[in-house]
């Protein structure tokens, strides 16, 4: 909580046994055969999916939330494990497996977690209509409240831009069902990045910033005026132009396009909130994720952002309440409802 108000986190990823299913995924890739098992029940103990392991993984997650003063999270796939370059028959199976892991975590802690779906995105398809069945399953059978979309699932920069009609089937369905779209980069196959550790993070920066620009300049929100989109990591990168510059989309998208606070450098985070504006900023930390490094000045983990944002003196207390709770409750009402 922050000053008696529930803190809602729009950006989080599943915590499951077996390295978040990576053991099962490795066998599936090696055998080129879908794994039809369900990680929520018996039969996959060899991959670490036991009741005790589930309890331990989810408890580690909720313990961190308690330590970081976070009351509820929207939980989706681990983006760097989405592997959108897989063959379609494997992609379908891996998306379903991942969604079952997310559902299990939500079932175990229903007042802390709501689910966001992974979809079996195929960049070479005519459009995303092939993902509608999985989205319908996740909403109607698993009770999910949002969906993750990768701007470039294969990591080769060969996907249609997020302003193109290719995305319309999912945009239309999310608008109809009032589902929040979480835009998050995934893999990056650029060979130039091999020197950089965990170089998929560099792909996140480019793809999320490009998505922000395309959504700002394109007509997606004219076609889908009720659609709500959150771009992770403050939108990937910040704009270097003044607000009246023609390089920026000169449109009011305050009802449609939002950004989270999942940035760990404090100067960057401050600049992002100032540039995006508190009304379009949603609290997001990715806890537990890439923010485990300890800040030398505080001795606290980098993703412990409630006290950080709470101490910012350039935004008002009303702004802080919007960031911590109100904006997220507007964009994803179900997250506020489960924590009430």
* Residue 294: burial class (beta carbons within 10 Å; 0-12, 13-18, 19+): exposed
| Residue 188 predicted with pLDDT over 90 | no
| Residue 325 predicted with pLDDT over 90 | yes
> From the centroid of its chain, how far is CA 199?
18
| Residue 108 predicted with pLDDT over 90 | yes
Which residues does 31 contact at the CB level (< 8 Å), separation at least 6? none
Cis peptide leading into residue 288 (ω within 30°): yes
Per-residue pLDDT band at 101 (split at 50, 70, 90): very high
Per-residue pLDDT band at 28 (split at 50, 70, 90): very high
Among all chains, which residue has been given the structure tokens 């450098």?
A: 265
| Residue 50 predicted with pLDDT over 90 | yes
Residue pLDDT, tens place only, 286-316: 999 888 889 998 899 989 999 999 999 999 9
Question: Coil, strand, or helix at residue 298?
Answer: coil
Among all chains, which residue has been given the structure tokens 């939980």?
A: 75
Per-residue pLDDT band at 32 (split at 50, 70, 90): very high
DSSP result, 315-332: S-HHHHHIIIIIHHHHH-
For 101, half-sphere exposure in the C-beta direction (CA atoms, 13 angstrom radius) is 33
| Residue 133 predicted with pLDDT over 90 | yes
Alpha-carbon gap, residue 81 to 289, rounded angstroms: 13
Residues composing the chain: 340
Residue pLDDT, tens place only, 222-235: 999 999 999 999 99
Do 324 and 306 contact (CB within 8 A), yes or no?
yes
Do 269 and 263 contact (CB within 8 A), yes or no?
yes
pLDDT of residue 75: 98
Q: Region 166-181: what's the mean pLDDT?
A: 98
Q: Where are the alpha helices (DSSP H) in 125-265?
A: 132-140, 168-177, 200-217, 220-223
Alpha-carbon gap, residue 262 to 290, rounded angstroms: 10
| Residue 251 predicted with pLDDT over 90 | no
- Percent of the chain scored above 70 by pLDDT? 100
The candidate with the shortest Cα–Cα distance to 72, out of 134, 9, 159, 127, is 9
Q: Domains of the chain, with CATH numbers?
A: 8-339 (3.20.20.140)
Any bridge partners for residue 116, and if so which? 146
CA distance readout (Å), 206 to 184, 235, 248, 286, 316 = 11, 9, 16, 19, 31
| Residue 197 predicted with pLDDT over 90 | no
Q: Region 260-268: what's the mean pLDDT?
A: 95
């Amino acid at each position: 909580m922050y000053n008696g108000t529930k803190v809602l986190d729009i950006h989080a990823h599943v915590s499951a046994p077996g390295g978040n299913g990576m053991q099962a995924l490795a066998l599936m890739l090696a055998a080129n055969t879908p794994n039809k098992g369900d990680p929520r029940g018996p039969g996959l103990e060899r991959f670490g999916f036991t009741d005790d392991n589930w309890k331990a993984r989810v408890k580690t997650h909720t313990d961190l939330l308690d330590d970081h003063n976070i009351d509820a999270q929207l939980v989706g796939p681990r983006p760097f494990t989405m592997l959108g370059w897989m063959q379609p028959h494997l992609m379908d199976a891996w998306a379903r497996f991942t969604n079952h892991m997310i559902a299990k975590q939500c079932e175990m802690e229903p007042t802390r977690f709501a689910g966001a779906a992974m979809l079996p995105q195929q960049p070479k398809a005519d459009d995303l209509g092939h993902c509608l069945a999985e989205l319908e399953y996740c909403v109607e059978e698993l009770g999910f409240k949002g969906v993750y979309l990768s701007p470039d699932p294969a990591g080769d920069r060969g996907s249609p831009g997020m302003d193109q009609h290719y995305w319309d089937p999912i945009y239309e369905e999310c608008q109809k069902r009032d589902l929040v779209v979480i835009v998050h980069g995934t893999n990056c196959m650029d060979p130039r990045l091999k020197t950089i550790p965990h170089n998929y993070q560099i792909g996140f920066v480019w793809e999320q910033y490009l998505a922000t620009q395309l959504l700002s300049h394109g007509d997606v929100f004219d076609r889908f005026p009720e659609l709500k989109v959150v771009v992770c990591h403050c939108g990937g990168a910040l704009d270097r132009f003044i607000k009246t510059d023609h390089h920026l989309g000169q449109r009011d998208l305050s009802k449609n396009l939002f950004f989270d606070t999942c940035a760990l450098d404090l100067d960057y985070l401050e600049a992002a909130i100032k540039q995006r504006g508190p009304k379009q900023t949603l609290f997001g930390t990715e806890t537990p994720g890439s923010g485990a490094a300890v800040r030398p000045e505080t001795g606290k983990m980098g993703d412990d952002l409630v006290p950080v944002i709470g101490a910012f003196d350039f935004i008002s207390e009303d702004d802080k309440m919007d960031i911590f709770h109100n904006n997220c409750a507007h964009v994803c009402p179900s997250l506020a409802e489960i924590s009430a």
